[in-house]
Structure 1
Amino acid sequence: MGDRINTCKAVGGIKLKKREEIPVCDTWNLADILPSEEAWEDLFHETERSLSGYKKFEGHLAQSGEMLFSCLKFDEEVSLKIETLFVYGKQKSDEDTGNARYQGLSSKARALSYQAAGLSSYIIPEILTISEELLKEYREAVPELNRYNRTFEVILKKKAHTLPAAMEALLAGSMEATSGSSEIFNMFNNADVKFPEIKDENGNTVKISHGNYVALMEKQDREVRKSAFYGLYGVYKQFGNTLAATFSSNVKKSAFYATARNYPSARAHSLAENEVSEEVYDNLIKAVRDGLPYLHEYVALRKKALGVDTLHMYDLYVPMVSREERTISFEEAKNMVLEGLKPLGDHYLSLLKEGFDHRWIDVYENEGKRSGAYSWGVYGVHPYVLLNFNGTLDSVFTLAHEMGHALHSWFSDKNQTYVDAGYKIFVAEVASTCNEALLIRHLLEITEDKKERAYLLNHFMDSFRGTLYRQAMFAEFEDKAHRLAAQGEVLTSETLCQMYHQLNADYFGPEMVIDPEIDFEWSRIPHFYTPFYVYQYATGFSAAVAVSSRILAGDETAIKGYYKFLSGGSSMPPVELLKLCGVDMSTAEPVKDALLVFSGLLEEMKSLI
């Protein structure tokens, strides 16, 4: 790769830059994980050689507390090394998904993780052969074992779903063979798929990409939105049968592992992994279904505000009220986030600045870069954030969102051991969405312009529509698809499209035209390849609205509880962690309360337009 530019200016323009053309200061510094690819290779070979160490513990864990501790400590050390290899390799691959060398790093680390999973698969079955009384004796005799108290608690909960050691080894060995569907989708969606060019509002030629699609859908020019919508979904439609087969394969995979582990369904299996009851999932769907009249009102208001005879799916992202479009620089975005998150205190702000100033963030889109945004990292190293920042207000909120994830990880890593630091997915969206809620309320508070206030209210309402309603609809789609497959139905493109069409009709109501192209939206959602993940965006959003409201009210107990939550990792079940913030997700109340906030925003918006 060639030398990078060493000046630091906002990256703009229509043509995507190559990776080496991005200023160094706008890229993340992966050298904080490993200094070079040579260091990666050294660590890989060291870890590969060490895996034989698992053999000396196999069949002996029940012999003594010392033996049990030595095995768990060895497994922890191997896990951290493999995490380091995988995160570095995957993040290098995400910089340029078409780079075969980086793909190789990621693939080798993944294969090593599967190998380690197979060699260590005896650990949980052997621990389960130790009586609780004897395990208690071991923990008293070897105090270091208390490091794994939470591990033991979780293992014991899964006793009925843990197989004999030989079967566990077989399942672990199957993981690499069954990961193809998600890998195929990832390569298709990020490296191979090509979208057409369209004309923007100024007559310039723009190539549709994952990174600019939402920005195009926010354009005031309706023809630009329509062209982007048809252009993007026209491509997915061409590959409908292939993507249906890929999606169906992943559904079958999740059903297989659920059956193998004696769970009644893939949903039950997925939720049990996060210690969440299925009642939480059903409560969400029911509460959102009950709140659909608010969304129907929103659609009617949007139709009126835009002054159109018919409202189409490509009219959902453009602001209901126009304002002079301006590009927000990344420097401005950082300052907006710092101002908006002041209620979280000086310590939180100092950590944000550290992330901004020390290359935690990969800022701009480049040719081949992974779409979307995420936060990730390695225990013992600061977290990282991948963005595709494009200067819109949405991208400012994405920055706040991903830094919420990053600092959640920072606090958990600083306050928990490696084994307890990784928080469950169920709580993962709370800190990120709380940041967004604090930022939008700050912007609403400081504006004195009626039009600007309407614009911001529109943005906040769209967060409800896009996160609470849309992700709940995704969750309902997933649930229906997995149930159909469990009943022996073949998940063809036609079946999936029909189901998705009806859900859109139900959710958006009679004032919305459900364009046939939207029927293929299911085929472009990466999170469907992590089954029963998306519902947590909706539950997390609901919890975050509640937490941010308490913080803004100046509730000191809420702020203290929130810091305890951020620092909790997986030291408690996720529903219990949220109770530290005063939010009980075992009930439907947080979802209902969030929908009432949406209703209030809707009423204010009606008075402004």
Structure 2
Amino acid sequence: MSSVPERSEIDDENKWDLESIFASDEDWETALADISDRIDDLSVYEGRVTESPETLLELLELREDLLRDVSTVSTYASLRSSEDTRDGEYQAMSARAESLAADARSAASFVRPELQALDRAELDDFVETEPVLAEYDHYFDDVLRAKPHTRSKEVEELLADLSDVTDAASDVYSMLSNADMEFPTVENPDGEDVEITLGNFTKLQKHPNRSFRREVHEVFYDHWADVRNGVGTALKKSVTSDVKLARARNYDTAREAALDGPNVPIDAYDTLVDTVRENLDYLHRHADLKATALGVDDLRMWDLYASMADGEPPSIPYGQAVEYVVDAVEPLGEAYQERLAEGLDSRWVDVYENRGKRSGAFSAGTYDTQPFILMNYQNDVSSMYTLAHELGHSMHSELANEAQPWQYSDYDIFVAEVASTVNETLLTHHLLETVDDDTLRRHVLDEYLERFRSTLFRQTMFAEFELRIHETVENDGALTPDRFDDLYRELKEAFYEPAVVDDRIAREWMRIPHFYYGYYVYQYSTGISAATAIVDRIRSEGENAAADYREALRMGGSAYPAEILEQAGVDTTDAGYIETALSTYDETLDEMERLIR
């Protein structure tokens, strides 16, 4: 029987090194208590933020010291809880850290409203008197920009204090899907029992045996049907929370509030959806080509992930994937490549799936720690690409942390998804140009097409779904599981017109955790589009373009996303960069069609 191991069965060398943050849980407890004692130190400055330049600098430095430590204890607890979501002790630690973080945000909530009492000229006078404040210039600009949506001190404190409550729907969904749900076991074509998990579902949907794919599809989504009311309620509450918080800050819509945070224009969202909608014929062509490759009359939902490449999918052991990824990033420069390789040797990555482990993959870390990457590595091409993706995030953080002060070390997701996808794109070029194994080359080509399908098109479909469900609440409509199904099925039918859309796939919204992140998913689509343009430039112009890109990564959060991507050669105000990605997708379909036909 193929089973998922317990965490204790995983070798330490394949686990991330959380002891580099705290040597023990006892040390974490000590740090937590210390932070709790220091939170009240901020109150001394309440009402005095603009008293003098010296006072403002003292406060900003005190706030930094506190919030940096809060980030460290929160990250440690969150990563520990991700290792095994069934572990009640670490779940409790994570909850305590979240509560402490909410207390710290609440205690510091007076800073922005009091700063907004000044105008730009007055802040410039402060900087002239205390030159160190010049480091905060972009921060000041961002604070003043948000003035129309910043409430009174009392309201800001309340909103900050409620943050762990307003995030409750996401927490409930995460615990339900990762810790409580146990999916059935199915028998594969070799007669082996295979336990379906969130981590291996997509891989099982790639199995060459169509009957097996169908069984996995049906069993998996039937199991979700058992919790549709609970998941539907969680998502409804999450959307409602987004809408109410936006209204509390004087925004007309939740989307406006979400995009205003990173200062991304609404037009960027609409341009993405409109441009992709206008070019669905590319996706339909992909679906028709897949039906031809699979030799089926009707493409079904359990066929969408199946490979168009002939032969058994190649096994890519983790060590081999590491070698490929390290070699692939060579165009980004020797220093970048060496830093990435050193990180992999320093246990940045928690490699394999274990029972209770959080599904999916992510990169995390703080200004004062190394990066940490959660994987559920499955020894396949897709997992290799996921590794490249998360390493892009981690290297982005490394370069930004090195170049920027703390207040600019964090960066917006709009930019982050470019860094991850640049690494994916470089990996594709490297493998297609250097690997002699024809089977692997065909599967890499297929994976590249799947990345376009699942990132550019599928995430845009998600973005449209997210917009529609928020608009439903904003227009006083009711969100029920049936309504979610209807909206999702309508979109699925439009995007996958040549395929047969069944009733089960209408529940797919239930398994997408990103819907709880508040207008997050569209950035995957803009990210792959910008990354395609950047890699094209690096491949044609060489080191000059690579240097521009590295500088964009080093900018961290010291500028707005559009300005950062402009440094890398991408104009986000024009649909051209999306059209470039669509053109590349079309050209790759041409190449695959030649192989198939």
Task: Tell me which interval the TM-score lies in, with the shorter structure as reference length.
Answer: over 0.9
- Which of 430, 434, 440 is equivalent to 2:418? 430
For 1:72-91, what per-residue CA distance to the aligned partner results, in whole angstroms no more than 9, with x for missing partners? 11111111011001100000
Match of 2:505 in 1: 518
2:529 and 2:581 in contact (8 A); partners too: yes
* 1:539 matched to 2:526: yes
Pairing partner for 2:227 from 231, 236, 239: 239
1:242-289 per-residue CA deviation (whole Å, 9 max, x = no partner) reads 211110101110111110111110000000011100000000001100
AA in 1 matched with 2:428? I
Shift of residue 405, structure 1, vs aligned partner: 0.6
- Offset, 1:321: 2.1
- Code of the aligned partner of 1:120: A
Match of 1:82 in 2: 70
Equivalence for 2:167: 179
SS at match of 1:176: helix
- After superposition, the CA RMSD in angstroms is 1.2
Matches within 5 A, 1:157-168: 157-168=145-156
Counterpart of 2:536, as a letter, is: S
Query: What is the Cα deviation at residue 449 of structure 1?
Result: 6.0
Partner of residue 570, structure 2: 583
Paired with 1:557 and 1:427, the residues of 2 have a C-alpha distance of 20
Amino acid at match of 1:396: M
Task: Specify the alignment match of 2:199 in structure 1.
Answer: 211
The 8 Å contact of residues 33 and 378 in structure 1, kept in 2 or not, is answered as no
Worse-superposed segment, 169-178 or 99-108: 169-178
Instruction: For 2:284 and 2:128, locate their aligned partners in 1 and report how far apart those are by CA, in whole Å.
Output: 60
**In the alignment, does 2:326 pair up with 1:330?**
no
CA distance in 1, matches of 2:433, 2:122: 59
Alignment of 1:61-460 (within 5 A): 61-448=49-436, 452-460=440-448
- TM-score normalised according to structure 1 size: 0.96
- Segment of structure 1 superposing worse, 323-332 or 304-313: 323-332
Please tell me whether the aligned partners of residues 33 and 381 of structure 1 are also in contact (alpha carbons under 8 angstroms). Answer: yes
Q: Give the aligned partner of residue 602 of structure 1.
A: 589
- SS of residue in 2 equivalent to 1:288: helix
1:54·1:71 contact (CA, 8 Å) conserved in 2? yes
1:381-420 per-residue CA deviation (whole Å, 9 max, x = no partner) reads 2111111111001011111111111000000000001100
8 Å contact 2:179–2:356 — kept in the other structure?
Answer: yes
Hey, what does 1:39 align to over in structure 2? 27
Q: How many residues align?
A: 596
Once the two structures are TM-superposed, the CA of residue 450 in structure 1 deviates from its matched residue by 5.6
How far is 1:327 from its partner? 2.3
Quote the Cα distance in structure 2 between the aligned partners of 1:326 and 1:608: 18
Q: CA shift at 1:338, angstroms?
A: 1.5
Amino acid paired to 1:59 = G
Moved more, 344-353 or 497-506: 344-353
Q: Which amino acid is 2:570 matched to? A: V
The DSSP-based 3-state class of the residue aligned with 1:43 is: helix
Quick check: 225-234 or 405-414, which moved more?
Answer: 225-234
CA contact (8 A) 1:450 1:608 kept: no
Q: Is the 8 A contact 1:195 1:232 kept in 2?
A: yes
Distance 2:387 2:469 in 1: 33
Cα distance between partner residues in 2 of 1:163 and 1:515: 47
| Preserved CA contact (<8 Å) 1:415 1:568 | yes
Is contact 2:307–2:446 with CA below 8 Å preserved after alignment? yes
Task: Kindly provide the CA deviation profile for residues 500-550 of structure 1, in whole angstroms up to 9, marking residues without a partner as x.
Answer: 0010110011x2000111101111111111110000000000001111111
Q: How far apart, CA to CA, are the structure 1 residues paired with 2:212 and 2:64? A: 52
Distance 1:370 1:449 in 2: 34
TM-score of the superposition, structure 2-length normalised?
A: 0.98
State whether structure 2 residue 579 is matched by structure 1 residue 592: yes
CA separation in 1, counterparts of 2:122 and 2:581? Answer: 47
Task: Please list the CA deviations of residues 113-132 of structure 1 after superposition, one character each: whole Å capped at 9, or x if unmatched.
Answer: 11112221111111111233
Q: Which amino acid aligns with 1:54?
A: L
Q: CA deviation at 1:554?
A: 3.7
Counterpart of 1:471 in 2: which secondary structure?
A: helix
SS at match of 1:553: helix
Q: Aligned to 1:599, what secondary structure does the other structure show?
A: helix
Structure 1 unaligned blocks of 5 or more: 1-12
**Distance between the aligned counterparts of 1:242 and 1:100, measured in 2?**
21
Q: What SS is found at the alignment partner of 1:48?
A: helix
Cα distance, 1:102 vs structure 2: 0.6
Look up the SS of the partner of 2:4 in the other structure: coil
Could you tell me how far 1:189 is from its partner in structure 2? 1.1
Distance 1:359 1:330 in 2: 13
Render the CA deviation track for 1:415-437: whole Å, top value 9, x for unaligned: 00110010111111111111111
Identity %, equivalent residues: 37
Q: Distance in 2 between matches of 1:389 and 1:449?
A: 22
Distance in 1 between the 2:5 and 2:441 partners? 35
Q: Deviations for 1:56-105, whole angstroms, at most 9, x for unmatched residues?
A: 10011121111111111111111101100110000000011110111111
Whether the aligned pair in 1 keeps the contact of 2:314 and 2:381 (CA below 8 Å) is no
Query: Structure 1, residues 450-508: CA drift from partner, whole Å, max 9, x if none?
Result: 65544332211111101000000000000011111111111111111011001011001
Point out where structure 2 has 5 or more consecutive residues left out of the alignment. Answer: none
Out of 450-459 and 106-115, give the one that drifted further.
Answer: 450-459
2:48 aligns to what SS in structure 1?
Answer: coil
Aligned counterpart in structure 2 of residue 568 of structure 1, from 546, 555, 558 = 555
